[in-house]
Each structure stands twice: as C-alpha cells, then as structure tokens.
Amino acid sequence: MLWWACYTLSKESPQLGKWYALQKTIGITFNDIALLEQALAHPSYTHEKPGTVVPNNERLEFLGDSLLNFIVAEELYRRFPGLTEGELTELRISLIRQDTLAEHALRLGLGHYLLLGKGEELTGGRERETNLADAFEALVGAIFLDQGIDAARRFVLAQFSDELKNCAGHEMKRSYKTLLQEFTQANFGQLPAYHIVEVSGPDHARRFTAEVRLGDQVLGTGCGRSKRAAEMQAARAAWECLNPGQFA
C-alpha cells in the first residue's frame, strides 16, 4: 500500500521530490509526508485552491507555537535553576521572537518550499518574516504529530543551540522594559507608556502589536502572541534605537 499512497500524494503534490530534499535538510524522515506538506501550505494557497486536499498550516502553527514555548521553557528551567519565574519568562520571550523564528526558517530554506497563492507569491511572500516564522512553528507541530515529543524536542533544541548558549552569559541581565524605563526617567524625567494598537488573528492564535511611547512620540513597536510579549519587543526596539550596539 505504500507505493499507492506515494502515487496518490504525487498527483496532489507536484513538489513531492522537494519534500524529500527538505527532510534531508532537517534530518527527519516523516512517516506521513502529508504533514510536512501541510506545514508549508500558506492560507493563501488553500484559499485559491478550495478543492485541494492539503489543509493550510494555521492549525499546525498553533500547535507548534505551544510546543516551542513548552520545550524552550523546559530547557531554560533545567539550565538555570537559580532564575526566578519572571527572569525565566523574559528569557523565553527573548528567544522565541518572530524574527528569530524567521531566521531559523531561512537557514532551513523553508521559504523555497512554501506553498503560496499567486498574490502572496508576487508580493514577496517567500521572504516575508511572518510567513517564515509561521512555517517554522508549523514544522515543529508537524514533527510532533508525526514522531512525538522527543523528536520535536531534539529538533527545537538543535535549532536554538546557539541562542541557548548565549543565554548562559546573559541570564541575569535586566529586561529591556526595565532598561528603557531607567533610561527615559534619567534622561527625560518621564516613564514610557505601552499601548496595544492592533490585535489580529483567530482567537486561538492572537497576534498583538504594541507601541511604547514617551509623551506623543513613538519610541518602538513590537509584535507577539501576548500583550506582554508585544510590549517586550516594543521596549527592545526602543532601547536598541536609543542605544545602538548595547544589549540588555
């Protein structure tokens, strides 16, 4: 029956050969290659092909996001027994950023494998940060469903190896929100204020956009899966703009 399953999939997926190449890149051979295909199917692709048997990757993205947070949180808990809950949270948020996930996706070449609608293709969808980050999360979800939590953990920790090593030297550093507050208080005599300016996405995968302002001036903007994460990214953007080259 395996040959028939492959033949059926090949008729639905002209990129069957590419999926095998991607498996070689990530070092994982899927039992159900349709999960890998789904992980790379952008919603624009399925919207333009309502009869396709390939679901879009939104559900896998939701699952992968939760898994990423769990796996990274578990690893930070094990590595840094002296950190408080707040410090661990800040480290986790700093690691699982959209730009970081997009960088991992680029290193794996996921943009090349994305299934996109024509409009998304023509407007640079293969390089779009949100698409790349979503695909990376969906890939984690697909690995988990296909091979279990241990395989997903190995994959995530391998991808985040460098970032986790860097945490060891900065684990006790202060958050960007704290640094920004101290900077604006000392230099302007004011405290920054955070505002959620946009909420998008379905209920199970909300995306928040936050601005940090000093008076009427916008110092930075950030996005995240929670209000706290979005505010942290806005504070980071503001701090790096005000203090280029300096890190928390």
What are the residue numbers of the active site? 65, 137
For residue 211, give Cα distances in angstroms to 86, 91, 128, 182, 244. 22, 21, 21, 18, 19
Query: Can you tell me the distance from the alpha carbon of 170 to that of 5, in angstroms, rounded to the nearest whole number?
Result: 49
Query: Can you tell me the distance from the alpha carbon of 141 to that of 155, in angstroms, rounded to the nearest whole number?
Result: 11
Contacts of 105 (CB under 8 A, 6+ apart): 111, 132, 133, 135, 136
Sheet containing 193-200, strands listed edge to edge, beginning at the edge strand earlier in sequence: 193-200, 207-214, 217-224
Q: Which tokens is 174 given?
A: 């202060």
For residue 85, give Cα distances in angstroms to 73, 96, 129. 10, 17, 29
